Amino acid sequence: MKVLITGGAGFLGSHLVDLLLKEGNEVICLDNLITGSMDNLAHLQDNKKFRFIKQDVTEYIKIDGPIDYVLHFASPASPIDYQKYPIQTLKVGALGAHKTLGLAKTKTAKFLLASTSEVYGDPLVNPQRENYWGNVNAIGPRGMYDEAKRFAEAMTMAYHRYHGIDTRIARIFNTFGERMRKKDGRVVPTFITQALANEPLTVFGDGSQTRSFCYVSDMIEGLYKLMLSVIHEPINLGNPQEMTILDFAKKIIELTKSKSKIVYKPLPQDDPKVRRPDISKARKLLKWEPKISLEEGLKKTIAWFKKSKEA
């Protein structure tokens, strides 16, 4: 199959590119590299089945020849990144979804949207099921990301219902692993970097807010299964093992054998108090669930951060 992926130079995008190539597909990657990096694709330089095009996907996408799948993964994805690039975030969710769906329509390709647990906002129910409509502050500091992704979901369903495009929507929950940027501001790279430097871990608020972390190889497997499925309604992908951010900080200190202390910083506005995916739908329809424990995933990630620190 020939697959086009936007955001293929990013964290999840590049891991998905690797799996797609491993499975024998041809891959075209589009990325404007504002948060993605060619370092994530450097090992593919001589791969004949891989092509990189530097492009902003909010502009018209012109590709010659057939395409079987269009995967829309481009977007700043960490709170720091999307607050630094608010307009680009809104544009890539909205215009980028429109352009990639238009491409899928022209090529009669199947389509997958990388959506997010952020569509649930600061959720009033826990765990979150796909039928929960969410609690989003459109004009708050996370609004640009949440609303862009909600728009992208609405656009995807409209192309599916109105144009009959064969679409899928993955609601991706917190995922971590190799190739996360040290400074993307998210809790996993931040805590690991702080712990390895024996600097204080910055817990926001009192650390009682919860997250559920999925290791990247599990997420990529789930995304690939969804891509090959015919499920058009949104589906949650993530690890349902929930923990508080304070416990998470302690876990990182333990696993890195760090001398770091914990310091408390103000909780950012609209920071979700709880987050945990209900993955019964993915279990049932995709026969998928995460296999890698938090500890195992963190050990691999810490080893990678140590190595890239030395490099």
Which positions are catalytic?
Answer: 145
To ligand UDP, the closest distance from the beta carbon of 249 in angstroms equals: 7
Tokens of 279: 């993955």
Quote the least distance from Cβ 191 to ligand UDP, whole Å: 7
DSSP state of 198: T
Q: How far apart are CA 242 and CA 274, in angstroms?
A: 9
Tokens of 20: 């797609």
Q: Are strands 2-6 and 242-244 parallel, antiparallel or unpaired?
A: unpaired
**13 or 277: whose CB is closer to ligand UDP?**
277
Considering the complex, state which of residue 140 and residue 268 has its C-beta at the smaller distance from ligand UDP.
268
User: What is the C-alpha separation between 79 and 249, in angstroms, rounded?
Assistant: 19
Q: For residues 111 and 305, which CB has a smaller minimum distance to ligand UDP in the complex?
A: 305
Q: CB 135 → ligand UDP: shortest distance, Å?
A: 14
DSSP code, position 18: H
The distance of closest approach from Cβ of residue 231 to ligand UDP in the complex, given in angstroms and rounded to an integer, is 25
- Binding region for ligand UDP (CB under 6 A): 78-79, 174, 185-187, 190, 202-204, 209, 211, 245, 268, 271
Q: What length is written for the chain?
A: 311
Which CB atom, from 30 or from 222, has the smaller least distance to ligand UDP?
222
Q: What angle do CA 97, 28, 305 make, to 5 degrees?
A: 90
Q: How far is the CB of 120 from ligand UDP (least distance, A)?
A: 11
Structure token digits, residue 11: 């964290």
Q: What is the DSSP string of 35-96?
A: S--GGGGGGGTT-TTEEEEE--TTS-----S--SEEEE--S--SHHHHHHSHHHHHHHHHHH
- Residue pair 183/245 in contact (Cβ under 8 Å)? The answer is no
The radius of gyration of the chain from alpha carbons, rounded to an integer in Å, stands at 19
Nearer to ligand UDP among residue 131 and residue 208 (C-beta)? 208
